[in-house]
């Protein structure tokens, strides 16, 4: 698998709590130079990053992050604010409590409310696979596929575990309607990247893979 092909599928990510502008600026520069799919950064840096990159690389940010238990109104406001500030892509976290209680309609409504705000911009739905049973993972493939979101995403990278090859293989069997897959959390090497892409992932979220590819 060619290096540039992998780079074109990476959301080059820096979401650590103590990130500073100098580090975000480096992510921006690397994303532009390496032609990554996007740079994924905290919401507070979106406006500054948008001014810096001038459209040379898409800017992704996160909402309802990392726990997902904010109200829908708060998530909708976060998404609206991020887009106003220049975000091109939104990665949202679902309400995992709703999932555990079987409130699938509420999750679907929330996803669609946020996608309405996103319009033509990309929305990815983080389901935090490390906290889910196989049945719940399959159910979320169904819910996200029924929604207007663009991607189902494995993980925040802030919980007990990240993406696994088995999860991507499971997602590939159960998503439908053109829903794409993003693997994130713990992807650190070229072999990981190749395996996840071959298993069906369209995007890879990683804070460490880019250095190995340069």
Residues annotated as part of the active site: 91, 153, 182
Judge whether 1 and 204 are in contact, CB under 8 Å.
no
Q: What angle do CA 108, 114, 62 make, to 5 degrees?
A: 110
The answer to whether the CB of 38 falls within 8 A of the CB of 8 is no
Spatial separation of the C-alpha atoms in residues 106 and 132, rounded to whole Å: 18
| Closest among 155, 169, 175, 163 to 199, alpha carbons compared | 169
Alpha carbon of 147 to those of 66, 141, 159, 196: distances in Å? 21, 10, 25, 24
């Amino acid at each position: 698998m060619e290096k540039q092909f992998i780079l074109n599928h990476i959301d080059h990510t820096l979401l650590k709590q103590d990130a500073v502008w100098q580090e975000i600026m480096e992510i921006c520069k690397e994303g532009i130079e390496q032609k990554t799919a996007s740079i994924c950064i905290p919401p507070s840096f979106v406006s500054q990053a948008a001014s810096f990159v001038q459209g040379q690389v898409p800017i992704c940010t996160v909402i309802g992050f990392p726990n997902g238990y904010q109200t829908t109104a708060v998530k909708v406001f976060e998404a609206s604010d991020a887009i106003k500030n220049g975000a091109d892509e939104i990665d949202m976290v679902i309400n995992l409590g709703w999932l555990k209680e079987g409130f699938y309609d509420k999750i679907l409504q929330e996803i669609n409310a946020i996608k309405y705000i996103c319009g033509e911009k990309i929305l990815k739905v983080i389901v935090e696979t490390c906290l889910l049973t196989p049945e719940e993972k399959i159910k979320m493939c169904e819910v996200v596929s029924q929604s207007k979101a663009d991607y189902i995403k494995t993980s925040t990278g802030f919980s007990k575990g990240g993406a696994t090859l088995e999860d991507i293989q499971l997602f590939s069997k159960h998503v439908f309607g053109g829903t794409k897959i993003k693997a994130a959390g713990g992807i650190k090497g070229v072999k990981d990247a190749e395996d996840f892409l071959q298993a069906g992932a369209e995007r890879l979220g990683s804070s460490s893979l880019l250095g190995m590819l340069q």
